[in-house]
Structure 1
């Protein structure tokens, strides 16, 4: 469980191609825990990172997985910025947004963010939005809000506007401590519409973004698997050869990582080939059903890898190895963005309607 290892995560590229990521991954490693530095790196990466559906989706996911493999929180910083850049591009805005951006689309009980036109015909936002990670440190965000027609639409919003106020919640979790998510309040905040009403959710990029998050989860699982392999190798070097249980566990972890990585490689190829560009409201296989499959498969894989590794390595690294303990805690919280059986129920409904390949 080296504190200095900074290896890329391969999905489909040749290993020699991934070597180009190493200098950037080293910068990420040096910035662990420093959110302003991580945001600066995200802005830099956003200038040249591939966008989904443009022929290099697997390389985008390798980038996200590799950063998350170095530090889960760093991936949690990078992913929404790249997602915001992609969303703006999909809406026809080809200019790079200034600063670091996020994407705030969550809803919460008792909270509602409304978008209405003012007397000049421009949209303004009023209300509250929950689960806005790093809002106080971001320059802007793509935010969903309820319109006067009872639909939801996406808007580009500058978070430095005086009408924006960010709550800083007491973050008691050990995981993702440097990225607390709080409620943001909006009072007559100007907003620029992105796409039409309901466009944000119906575009295939919504599903592609969900798969990109799963690529981040995979990166965290790969890092945990490498922690396990390194620990076994170190034990062997010190005269403690792994027993059959440890070897079987490492073999299971290898099977899981290999199969999930292959699934993501296949999905990225299908996205770039135009085979996953339909919404969930169409007949036949849709991008959203595939996103639900991938997210569920990767989340289950992550949880299984974490369980196998912690059972084998025991309490010592959780108690005494900062990098390993942080990774485990960060990753456990991050994958809870997956809604488990509720997402499977949604997928089951689509499957029942014929949205399947079998």
Structure 2
């Protein structure tokens, strides 16, 4: 299985040594183990660029490289790096804001909402808040030291908070996680009972900041990298034996889809660094790139299955894991519902997009 970096930059423009080869090797060693993925995340935190700081393409290449080799590594590292970026945007130094005594914190970002559950924040003093309720989709909450969590401060307003996940008022529900994809990254609900929290930004800041859209594109970079990892298995198969016309057809179609999606991702990185992906333009860019890459992933999963048949799914543990992991991971894109949201945004603008 290939352990090579995934590039968005042309060969002549790639840095001589940016550590991506070492990143790929470290991701291979993770092999679906969340503990090793957390160790890797900590090691990357100080070296991987933040989005919008002039090296966003390097960030996306790092995320894609992780995902092409091991999706558990990418899933865990992306959240950790996103949390560090959020703290950076809030002008908070992670080393100076840690609560709960951890010297090497590992971070998650829990911002999903779910039917029938709600997390509320109440102020108990100057800059003192407490959280009560249930938050769904809290990945690795039982293994992380800290998290950034959105909670309701009113009926219609949410705010971001920092919490130490060792707080005795926290109950992590790992028993509900039955997924065959990313099985070592349980993402069940977490119950909060009078949990101390520190606000990060003002009401609504988490969703308004430019980095919200940029973080969404970073997740798409992971999806794209995972699809590259699947397509590399097809590439290996056509080198192992003389391919027929059907195999070559799938290989060509995979190249078209992945190259187009990679080009969009590279262009998004350029727009972010140029300051052209803020406000409404940033939201549109994220919706378009995520939609394109999600469709690409679904096409790649189908084509690799057609090209390779059942054998890798049955006898190649890394390939079988990658398929299951990627199918779950890409469902963070809400398919037709996200298409509706994009269509509504375009219509409300009143400006033809083409």
TM category (shorter chain) comes to over 0.9
Give the equivalent residue in structure 2 for 1:75: 74
The farther-off stretch of 21-30 and 312-321 is 21-30
Question: 1:116–1:148: 8 Å Cα contact kept in structure 2?
Answer: no
In structure 1, distance between residues paired with 2:292 and 2:221: 11
In structure 2, distance between residues paired with 1:42 and 1:18: 20
Within-5 A mapping of 1:40-79: 40-79=39-78
Question: 2:30–2:72: 8 Å Cα contact kept in structure 1?
Answer: no
The Cα shift of 1:49 comes to: 1.1
Task: Give a deviation string over 1:83-110, Cα, whole Å, max 9, x none.
Answer: 0000011011033454100000011111
TM-score after normalising by structure 2: 0.93
Aligned to 1:118, the other structure's residue is in SS state strand
TM-score after normalising by structure 1: 0.92
Give the equivalent residue in structure 1 for 2:283: 288
Give the equivalent residue in structure 2 for 1:257: 258
The Cα shift of 1:357 comes to: 4.2
Within-5 A mapping of 1:250-329: 250-278=251-279, 280=280, 286-329=281-324
Aligned to 2:19, the other structure's residue is in SS state helix
The Cα shift of 1:15 comes to: 4.6
In structure 2, distance between residues paired with 1:66 and 1:206: 22
The Cα shift of 1:171 comes to: 2.9
Give the equivalent residue in structure 1 for 2:169: 163
Task: Give a deviation string over 1:286-342, Cα, whole Å, max 9, x none.
Answer: 211111111110000011011111011111111111111110110011000000011
Root-mean-square deviation over aligned CA pairs: 1.6
Q: 1:10 aligns with which of 7, 13, 18?
A: 7
Question: Relative to 1, partners in 2 of residues 1:302 and 1:92: Cα closer, same or farther, differing over 3 Å?
Answer: same
Question: 1:8–1:18: 8 Å Cα contact kept in structure 2?
Answer: no
The farther-off stretch of 141-150 and 60-69 is 141-150
Question: 2:32–2:182: 8 Å Cα contact kept in structure 1?
Answer: no
The Cα shift of 1:24 comes to: 2.7
In structure 2, distance between residues paired with 1:126 and 1:172: 26
In structure 1, distance between residues paired with 2:267 and 2:26: 30
In structure 1, distance between residues paired with 2:248 and 2:106: 44
In structure 1, distance between residues paired with 2:176 and 2:129: 32
The Cα shift of 1:57 comes to: 0.6
Give the equivalent residue in structure 1 for 2:38: 39
Within-5 A mapping of 1:1-358: 2=1, 5-12=2-9, 14-15=13-14, 17=16, 20-96=19-95, 98-118=104-124, 122-148=128-154, 150-235=156-241, 241-278=242-279, 280=280, 286-354=281-349, 357-358=353-354
Aligned to 2:136, the other structure's residue is in SS state strand
Task: Give a deviation string over 1:260-300, Cα, whole Å, max 9, x none.
Answer: 1111111110110001111x4xxxxx211111111110000
The Cα shift of 1:20 comes to: 2.4
Question: Relative to 1, partners in 2 of residues 1:119 and 1:254: Cα closer, same or farther, differing over 3 Å?
Answer: closer
In structure 2, distance between residues paired with 1:293 and 1:121: 38
The Cα shift of 1:35 comes to: 1.5
Gap runs ≥5 in structure 2: 99-103
Question: 1:204–1:276: 8 Å Cα contact kept in structure 2?
Answer: yes
The Cα shift of 1:163 comes to: 1.2
Give the equivalent residue in structure 1 for 2:101: none
The Cα shift of 1:119 comes to: 5.1
In structure 2, distance between residues paired with 1:245 and 1:24: 34
Aligned residues: 344
